[in-house]
Amino acid sequence: MHLRLPSLVALGGLALAAAGVIAPRALALPPLPSMHWADTTRGRPFAKDPSVIWFKDRYLLYYSVPPWQKPQRPGDGWRIGLATSPDLTEWKKIAELGPEQPCEARGVCAPGAIVLGGRVHLFYQTYGNGPKDAICHAWSDDGVAFTRDPSNPVFAPTGAWTAGRAIDAEAFPVGDRLLLFFATRDPAMKIQMLGVAGAPLASDFSRRTWQQLVDGPVLQPELPWERACIEAPTIVRRGDDLVMFYAGGYNNEPQQIGAATSRDGLTWTRLSAEPFLAHGGPDSWNASESGHPGVFVDPAGRTHLFYQGNRDHGATWYLSRVEIGWKENRPLVLAPR
């Protein structure tokens, strides 16, 4: 029997089955998650570094978008995108934050949003400056139009343990302080690790208010799957415990997500020697990584972990989420509802 392959492919899987032909396994890709979203304004699907808040009766998602590729634009750099959603699954882009200050000239990205006192505070990084990248701060009364902190950049670490770089900001209140978690590198710019600073919760979070709280990393790569990188910390409170989700491994090595716990935000203990959320199998949408987490507790008290992934080693990037359940204040991934 002679089969015309182009016709069979056009007919699809049902026609193949009817003809008595079994389709190759590679054609049956695993199903996509319910949230599988990317910004398409750059000519390819691309969104990284998710941070989600609930503000003024709507969900807001802040994320990173890259420079334009075709056509390339002189002086263009990374920017922060903003999208909104009615259900945490379907998202619509509504705005972008581009460079405004001299320190931001080469780009801004990796936003970390937090609502304090009825205002959105956005902590984010400069981009493209190597060891001189640092954390900046802006605020907004509507979550869309932001006022830059005149003292930007507001924080970069010091000491013999660090190259002085600060990226991947996460702000979280503990007691009367706002803790600022960040990723930095060793002086050789090889090993990525986490540090922490603090500012009075009643302050304006400008540069003069921040104090580095530990002269060294609060978490650094130790496990095989973490390779030479821990980055992208994101924090949630469960009773007296702080729970951190973090990314281990550089992008596409693969990067995977781990979890740790702390009482004070300064000393952390891993919850497992294995990834909390691993990358997908060879045919999965996240085969190259499940990385850069962003945790969010919705108004109903349900916990969601947003993260980035791709299966083409970074040619594209999508955002997704899983719901997190809790057992004795320890996280577990819930099956989709």
Q: Within a domain: residue 321? A: yes
Domain count of the fold of the chain = 1
Average pLDDT over residues 244-268: 98
Q: Within a domain: residue 65? A: yes
Q: How far apart are CA 22 and CA 45, in angstroms?
A: 32
Average pLDDT over residues 192-206: 98
Q: What is the pLDDT of residue 5?
A: 31
Q: What is the pLDDT of residue 16?
A: 31
Q: What is the pLDDT of residue 12?
A: 36
Give the pLDDT band of residue 128 (cuts 50, 70, 90). Answer: very high
Average pLDDT over residues 290-312: 98
Q: Within a domain: residue 207? A: yes
Give the pLDDT band of residue 76 (cuts 50, 70, 90). Answer: confident
* CATH number of residue 278's parent domain: 2.115.10.20
Q: Within a domain: residue 3? A: no
Q: Decide which of 47 and 68 is more confident.
A: 47
Percent of the chain with pLDDT over 70: 91
The pLDDT tens digits of the residues spanning 91-111 come to 999 999 999 999 999 999 999
Q: What is the pLDDT of residue 27?
A: 55
Average pLDDT over residues 126-136: 98
Q: Within a domain: residue 4? A: no
Is the pLDDT reported for residue 323 higher than 70?
yes
Q: Within a domain: residue 228? A: yes
The pLDDT tens digits of the residues spanning 209-245 come to 999 999 999 999 999 999 999 999 999 999 999 999 9
Q: What is the pLDDT of residue 156?
A: 98
Q: How far apart are CA 246 and CA 233, in angstroms?
A: 4
Give the pLDDT band of residue 18 (cuts 50, 70, 90). Answer: very low
Q: What is the pLDDT of residue 3?
A: 33
Average pLDDT over residues 54-83: 91
Lowest mean pLDDT among 28-32, 116-120, 192-196, 225-229: 28-32
Is the pLDDT reported for residue 24 higher than 60?
no
Q: Within a domain: residue 30? A: no
Domain enclosing residue 315, as ranges: 44-333
Is the pLDDT reported for residue 277 higher than 60?
yes
Q: Within a domain: residue 24? A: no
Angle 132-231-37 from CA coordinates, rounded to 5°:
105
Average pLDDT over residues 156-160: 98
